[in-house]
Structure formats: structure tokens, C-alpha cells
Amino acid sequence: MKDMNSLQNIDWDSLTFSLTPTRSMYMATCNAGEEWDPGKLVPFGDISFSPAAGVLNYGQGVFEGMKAFRTVKDRIVLFRPEKNAVRAAGSAQRVCIPPVPTEMFLDAVKSVVKDNADYIPPFGKGSLYIRPVIWGSGPILGVAPAPSYMFLVYVSPVGPYFKSGVKSLHLKITNQYHRAAPKGTGGHKIVGNYAVSLYPQQLAKKSGFDEAIYLNAADERFIEEVGSANIFILKDDVLTTPSLDGSILPGVTRASVLKIAREKLNLQIRQRNVSVHELLNADEVFCTGTAVVVTPVGMITTNLHSQTINNNEMGPITTQLREMLLGIQQETHEDPFGWICPLDE
Ligand SMILES: *Cc1c(COP(=O)(O)O)cnc(C)c1O
């Protein structure tokens, strides 16, 4: 058994949210209509399949994003990994991919993390980002589900998602593009959702914004989310986030923040439509996601004007939520909800 405390010779302080190749990845395959074959660890590296692979031609693919942490207790933990397993199965079903059973998903994730434990940053220096993907890998010419599938889990040590660290974000509300339609696929982590967000994201970044905020496609009266993070507003002691109506991704961080807010900070919580007016007049605004954790929003620009939120600083509730969530994940804070999943050594 490998020593779980040994570390790679990596400059942990300069980690960003980018890919660092590691030792190994997990790979399993499945033929349409059959069970998944048992998977195994293979060296991390390129894979090959037909140019006619379903995922390459018709986007038949889903992914997940989760993190492993080296905690203050000097052990390695995952955060609510069963939530990702269940969500992945739901995404898979939506695009006719045979779902990976929860136990298989969790075993795969744990085995990759263990085999690459020396790539997990030291306590407080970042985390090991885990990327499970499930793809239609077999060849298919007409538009139809692929004849075979591949489930891969790879990992990469990462630092902060936004280069600015926890500096407040400046977001642009876009009504040039929508991310997800009613009854579409926005509520699932399906690869095609992200291809279509690249151009609006690029436009926002070129104009000096950190990201775009999407409005609901039906009538553009309500905010939905940021390209890969959920959004929250605080007004007085009420914390509100758009309700999950099918076009918003049900974030694990979103659900966790709602629970901490209600049970630990005694805030009232609401899940409902949130108008642009309410967003611009909030006391605090922040976004949540595995990659961004809890990141404050300090300025929001519409087609007409820019509005500063909380003097462009991280507000007190945003700070508390961020610290409690990170504290639970890194075990500097007790875990009152049983969210932490230690890797048994
Ligand atoms: C993954 C994702 C999120 C955040 O979900 P978490 O489970 O908190 O990481 C939010 N919005 C979109 C569009 C996403 O893809």
C-alpha cells in the first residue's frame, strides 16, 4: 500500500485551475443493453476510439466535478460523493447512456484518488479535482445512441478557479444568449451544455467581465445561473436562489449552502424565481460550485448600467458560508451533517 502522506514534487503555491497530469485514471466499458464491465486503473494518457464515436459526433456524453481534500486531520476526504453519483446517473439517462451504478461510481472515484494520493495538495493549498466522464464511445453514423460506452475518472491537483482568488467577481447579465431552454438539458451535466456556453463566456471575458449571468429563456425576467456555478442573493436575513425548474443545474454546493444557511446561520431560505431588479438590489450576491466554492459577486453590469454590490467586497454572510463550507471540507470545522467521506487507508 502506498504511503498516503507522501507528496509529489509540485509547486503547490502556484497551482491554478488547470490540468496537471497524474499517474492513473479509471476506465470501464459497457455495450449498449448490457451491464458495465468491471473497470480498472490504467496509466493516465491519451485514449483512442473511432472518429464516428457517438460523443464526438452527437455529443452523447456527461461529466461530473468533485474534489478530494487533504484535511487538517491529515487524512483524505471526499465531499458528498454519492450526490455526484446519483446526478451522473440522471444526466446519463437523459442522453441514453447506460447509468453507472452508484457503488461502481464511488469505488471508481475512490480508487483513482487513492492511487494518485501524492498529487493531492497539502492541507490548505488546494484540492484534487476529480472528473468522471461517461461517453458514447462506439461508432454510430446515423443519429442514434452509440453501441458502446466508456466511463473514465481522471484527476488533477488544482488551486483557485478564478485567478483573482477570492476577489469579488464582476458579472455581465447577458440577453444575447441563453444557456438552457425550458424542458431542455440545463438541469443535467451534459457535455453539449458547455460547448454552447463558450462563446458567451468569451464575449464576457473580452469585455473585461469574469463571467456571464444567464436569464431564463422564456421571457428573460429572471436570473438562472452563471456558466458553471449557481447564484444566490441575500436581502436582510433571507437567502434566495433560483428554484430548480429543469434549466438550472442542481449543484451539490448549492444544496449544501442552503442547508448551512438555514441550520447554522439561522437565515430564511427561499428557492423561487429571482428578478434582475432583486439581484441588483441585494445586500450580498455570491455564486457556488465545486470549483468556485463560494465566490462573492462585487459588481453586476446590465445593458444599461453597472451596479456595485456590498462595496465590491465579500459580505459577512458570504464570508461565513464560505468559511463554514471550506471548514467542513478541510475538517477544521466539525461536520454536523455527515457530508465528509474519508478514504479508508
Ligand atoms: C457543475 C455546475 C454547477 C455547480 O454544481 P456543484 O455540484 O456545486 O459543483 C452549477 N452550474 C452548472 C451549469 C454546472 O455545470
Asked whether the beta carbons of 127 and 84 are under 8 A apart, the reply is no
Give the model's pLDDT for residue 280. 98
> 167 pLDDT exceeds 90?
no
CATH number at residue 143: 3.30.470.10
Give the model's pLDDT for residue 162. 63
253 C-beta closer than 6 A to ligand 1: yes
Q: Is 189 a catalytic residue?
A: yes
Give the model's pLDDT for residue 344. 78
User: 47: burial class by Cβ within 10 Å (0-12, 13-18, 19+)?
Assistant: exposed
Of 115, 131, 158, the domain-final residue:
158
Same domain, 135 and 220: no
Of 103, 137, 158, the domain-final residue:
158
Give the model's pLDDT for residue 303. 94
Residue 40 CB neighbour total at 10 angstroms: 11
pTM of the model: 0.97
225 C-beta closer than 6 A to ligand 1: yes
Give the model's pLDDT for residue 38. 96
State in Å: Cα 39 to ligand 1 middle. Answer: 26
What percent of the chain stands above pLDDT 70? 98
Q: Tell me: the pLDDT tens digits for 10-20?
A: 999 999 999 99
> 345 pLDDT exceeds 70?
no
Question: Quick one: average pLDDT of 215-220?
Answer: 96
> 166 pLDDT exceeds 80?
no
Q: Tell me: the pLDDT tens digits for 50-74?
A: 999 999 999 999 999 999 999 999 9
229 C-beta closer than 6 A to ligand 1: yes
Residue 41 CB neighbour total at 10 angstroms: 17
Q: Which helix (H) or strand (E) holds 252?
A: helix 252-263
> 165 pLDDT exceeds 80?
no
164 — pLDDT class (breaks 50, 70, 90): low
Q: Tell me: the pLDDT tens digits for 220-258?
A: 999 999 989 999 999 999 999 999 999 999 999 999 999
Same domain, 138 and 189: no
Same domain, 41 and 106: yes
1 — pLDDT class (breaks 50, 70, 90): very low
Work out the mean pLDDT of the chain and round it to a whole number: 95
What percent of the chain stands above pLDDT 90? 94
164 lies in some domain: no
For atom 3 of ligand 1, the residue with the nearest CA is 229
Q: Which of 185, 191, 247, 243 is nearest to 64 (CA)?
A: 191
Q: What is the total count of domains within the chain?
A: 2
How many helices and strands (H and E) does the chain possess? 7, 17
State in Å: Cα 66 to ligand 1 middle. Answer: 10
251 C-beta closer than 6 A to ligand 1: yes
Residue 274 to residue 304: CA distance in whole angstroms: 19
188 C-beta closer than 6 A to ligand 1: no
**What atom in ligand 1 is closest to the CA of residue 290?**
9
For atom 2 of ligand 1, the residue with the nearest CA is 228
Give the model's pLDDT for residue 287. 97
Residue 180 CB neighbour total at 10 angstroms: 22
Of 133, 158, 183, the domain-final residue:
158
Question: Quick one: average pLDDT of 149-165?
Answer: 85
Looking at residue 74, the DSSP 8-state letter turns out to be S
137 C-beta closer than 6 A to ligand 1: no
In the numeric block, the cell 443545474 is attached to: 249
Give the model's pLDDT for residue 341. 98
Question: Quick one: average pLDDT of 97-109?
Answer: 98
CATH number at residue 265: 3.20.10.10
Same domain, 228 and 105: no
Type of residue numbered 274: V
Same domain, 142 and 247: no
Same domain, 119 and 196: no
Q: Tell me: the pLDDT tens digits for 263-306?
A: 999 999 999 999 999 999 999 999 999 999 999 999 999 999 99
Same domain, 113 and 89: yes
Catalytic residue, chosen from 189, 205, 206, 259, is: 189
Q: Tell me: the pLDDT tens digits for 78-92?
A: 999 999 999 999 999
Same domain, 92 and 176: no
For residue 131, give its domain range: 4-158
